[in-house]
């Protein structure tokens, strides 16, 4: 009678040994951080069955680790006229920034772009809906979250109307983000016959989706030369006039040649070209619409390196006067924290504006683990009072900025598919710095004494959340 039990035990032992050895080998070859690799190897070998399964679910976060991470040495040619538009900027440092952006993306720096700041859904949504209503050729929309009610119904109606008048409409919604609201916008659009896809990656060796890898990009492409991007999803949460709402956010309207790069990024996502090289636009040249020089940086787990993190580190190394960062979720990678500290120790005014309380408390607790060290090295941290601010921006000195969808946490920098536009423009940087300074005046400073007063229990809680921060 004990024979079946013995056979089951042997079968389970064999299954665990096989899975443990296979996942251990995979971790050795693919997990690049030795600390993370040791942790996963221990889990795979010591936790029967559960360890390997957990690794398959959360530890294999690279879509194609053999994808080419860089595109050559990068073109260090500063576009004609850029130096004249940026008086006081050292030419060699400007070439270095231009070079690394080209090396990481394979995309050229485009001149002649205009960028408008759109505060909250109160300004962004009417502008986006008006653009859709005026479209004549195409409307491509990508969003992490697209609510099927409230303001989302206005977007659904506008997209349906655009298709009915002959405009090419495509809508891409992340599969996880699509579950945030019911009714789902994807269902409403598909019922109306609008081409709609849910972004959901499938594993090569396991019939499960990459639930931990999400498309966090927000894009609206209208015809040629007009696009919107930033951190704003489509929901009533960013419409401040709505009752019980109050999430603050910032979006951007872009006109000019950079819209072609944004359209290419959308098209790559639509067709699933996860490691596609930059494509040359086949359409007519887009006319200049402003004085900003821009380049699109797409980042995600299909790359062999953290593309966005490397560009940020290069920008920090070139900073001379100010580094201003506003982000809703701040859990920096160690290299990025070192870059911020090094800039502060050089005498650069490094300032962060973070929410006093975000919508994810465990992220706030993990963030506190880093704040002590940053404060000790001269980085200034300001806590923004409610309502919760979802705004994301980085400004270096008075001419260089990043706008887009990326937060400064492991999920954005290593797990999500993100999109950022790097800009060289003193006018835009000045507008962003003016916004940053106005917000900072409403904040309270974080200081070491406040962190020192935290109880041992609270500090242990913060450390535990920090330990799991790569998956928050």
Q: What is the mean pLDDT of the chain?
A: 87
Per-residue pLDDT at 65: 47
For the chain, the structural domain boundaries read 8-59, 82-201+211-328+389-441
- The beta strands (E) that lie in 152-286 are given as 168-174, 196-199, 219-222, 226-230, 250-255
Q: Which element (helix H / strand E) includes 104?
A: helix 91-105
Per-residue pLDDT at 279: 46
* Percent of the chain scoring above 70 in pLDDT: 87
Per-residue pLDDT at 283: 65
With contact defined as beta carbons under 8 Å apart, do 84 and 115 qualify? no
pTM: predicted TM-score of the whole model, two decimal places: 0.88
Q: How many CB atoms lie within 10 A of CB 50?
A: 12
Per-residue pLDDT at 277: 46
Alpha helix (H) residue ranges in 318-397? 334-345, 361-376
Residue-wise pLDDT for 245-261, tens only, equals 678 999 999 999 999 99
Low-confidence ranges of the chain (pLDDT < 70): 1-5, 32-35, 38, 60-76, 201-211, 241-245, 273-283, 303-305, 470-472
Per-residue pLDDT at 200: 77
What whole-number distance in Å separates Cα of residue 157 and Cα of residue 153? Answer: 6
With contact defined as beta carbons under 8 Å apart, do 421 and 358 qualify? no
CATH topology of domain 82-201+211-328+389-441: Endonuclease; Chain A (3.30.870)
What whole-number distance in Å separates Cα of residue 277 and Cα of residue 107? Answer: 9
Residue-wise pLDDT for 27-84, tens only, equals 877 776 666 776 778 888 888 888 888 887 777 665 554 544 555 555 567 787 788 8
387: its two tokens: 């309502």
Q: How far is CA 133 from CA 188, 258, 276, 305, in A?
A: 19, 22, 31, 40
190: its two tokens: 């598909």
Alpha helix (H) residue ranges in 281-350? 307-317, 334-345
Per-residue pLDDT at 253: 98
- DSSP line for 115-136: EEEEEHHHHHHHHHHHHHHT-S
Exposed, middle or buried by CB within 10 Å (0-12, 13-18, 19+), for 232? buried
What whole-number distance in Å separates Cα of residue 328 and Cα of residue 390? Answer: 5
User: Angle at Cα 414 formed by Cα 20 and Cα 21, nearest 5°?
Assistant: 10
Alpha helix (H) residue ranges in 1-48? 3-30, 34-46
């Amino acid at each position: 009678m004990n024979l079946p039990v013995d056979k089951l035990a042997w079968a389970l032992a064999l299954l665990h040994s096989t899975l443990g050895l296979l996942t251990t080998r995979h971790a050795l070859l693919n997990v690049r951080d030795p600390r993370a690799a040791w942790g996963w190897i221990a889990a795979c070998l010591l936790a029967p069955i559960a360890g390997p399964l957990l690794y398959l679910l959360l530890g294999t976060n690279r879509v194609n680790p053999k994808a080419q991470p860089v595109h050559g040495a990068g073109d260090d040619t500063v576009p004609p006229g850029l130096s004249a538009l940026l008086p006081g900027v050292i030419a060699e440092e400007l070439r270095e920034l231009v070079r690394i952006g080209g090396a990481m993306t394979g995309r050229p720096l485009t001149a002649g772009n205009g960028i408008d700041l759109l505060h909250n859904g109160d300004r962004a949504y009417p502008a986006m809906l008006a653009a859709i209503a005026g479209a004549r050729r195409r409307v491509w929309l990508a969003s992490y979250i697209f609510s099927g009610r409230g303001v989302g119904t206005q977007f659904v109606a506008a997209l349906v109307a655009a298709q009915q008048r002959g405009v090419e409409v495509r809508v891409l919604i992340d599969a996880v983000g699509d579950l945030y609201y019911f009714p789902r916008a994807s269902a409403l659009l598909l019922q109306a016959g609008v081409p709609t896809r849910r972004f959901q990656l499938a594993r090569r060796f396991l019939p499960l989706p990459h639930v931990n890898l999400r498309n966090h990009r927000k894009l609206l492409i209208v015809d040629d030369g007009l696009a919107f991007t930033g951190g704003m999803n489509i929901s009533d949460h960013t419409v401040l006039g709505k009752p019980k709402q109050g999430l603050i956010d910032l979006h951007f309207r872009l006109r000019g040649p950079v819209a072609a790069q944004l359209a290419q990024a959308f098209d790559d996502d639509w067709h699933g070209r996860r490691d596609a090289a930059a494509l040359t636009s086949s359409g007519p040249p887009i006319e200049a619409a402003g004085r900003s020089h821009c380049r699109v940086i797409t980042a995600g787990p299909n790359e062999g390196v953290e593309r966005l993190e490397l560009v940020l580190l290069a920008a920090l190394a070139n900073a001379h006067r100010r580094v201003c960062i506003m982000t809703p979720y701040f859990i920096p990678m160690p290299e990025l924290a070192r870059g911020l500290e090094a800039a502060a120790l050089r005498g650069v005014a490094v300032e962060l504006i973070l929410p006093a309380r975000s919508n994810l408390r465990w992220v706030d607790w993990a963030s506190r683990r880093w704040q002590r060290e940053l404060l000790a090295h001269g980085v200034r941290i300001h806590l923004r009072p409610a309502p919760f601010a979802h705004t994301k921006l980085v400004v270096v000195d008075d001419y260089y900025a990043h706008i887009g969808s990326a937060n400064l946490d492991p999920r954005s920098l290593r797990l999500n598919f993100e999109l950022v536009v790097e800009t060289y423009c003193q006018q835009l940087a000045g507008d962003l710095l003016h916004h940053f300074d106005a917000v900072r005046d409403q904040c309270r400073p974080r200081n070491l004494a406040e962190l020192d007063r935290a109880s041992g229990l609270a500090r242990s809680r913060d450390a535990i959340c920090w330990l799991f921060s790569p998956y928050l």
